[in-house]
Amino acid sequence: MSAETDDDGANGFPLIGDEFPQLEVETTHGTKTIPDDYEGEWFVLFSHPGDFTPVCTTEFVGFEQRREEFAERNTELIGLSVDRVHSHIKWTDWIDDELDEEIGFPIIADESGTVAEELGMVHPGQGTSTVRAVFIVDDEGITRQVLYYPKEIGRNIDEVLRSLEALQTHEEEDVALPADWPENENFGDKALLSPPGTVEEAEQRLEEVDEEEYDSYDWWFTLKDI
């Protein structure tokens, strides 16, 4: 289930490790039920403060230009703002006409703000529109990453993709990923083994580090090629 209700009685938003809440939403691609309609797929749901705004426009162009890279990782994109469907359609038509990018992913029309409130996308002190929230949700409907950006700063699409790839690499290889992976200044694209939890496992780790695939500095700090 999603995060617990807080002490003030306001709805909590899904935290890392929570099941993403069930939502029935109207979008530019028709009615969708999230996460059920994306069963077996990952998705990135991101909010923007409003249609016909400059920073949001650059973000939508950026997400669309990288959409195939998300698709290669079995991941769909979903936008959201507290605008009407008609506004979304007019805005994406403008993007197509003026910037030559046809937005191919659905945009949730949350005119009432109900979805944005449930997902914690409206922050006190930031007005009634949504901040730039990002939820990365896995193929089992579990929230894996949550990011927030202020209205004044556009998102780094490369970082969203990097986070997605790192999460999926963790799932596939049972490893952790260093800072700035896969372009860490000191360790390149190597991954980190989880530290042993017992003395026996630590001793076993020391025996394993002689294998060529490992690069060990200590029993708790061991890297491997993936």
User: Catalytic residues, which ones?
Assistant: 56
Residues 130, 48: Cα–Cα separation, whole Å: 6
Q: Order of strands, edge to edge, in the sheet holding 191-192?
A: 191-192, 221-224, 214-218
Instruction: Could you list the beta-strand ranges (E) of the chain.
Output: 23-27, 30-34, 42-47, 75-81, 107-109, 132-137, 143-149, 191-192, 214-218, 221-224
Query: What DSSP string describes 147-164?
Result: EEE-TTS---HHHHHHHH
| Residue 146, phi-psi category: left (phi > 0), alpha (psi -120 to 50), beta (remainder) | beta
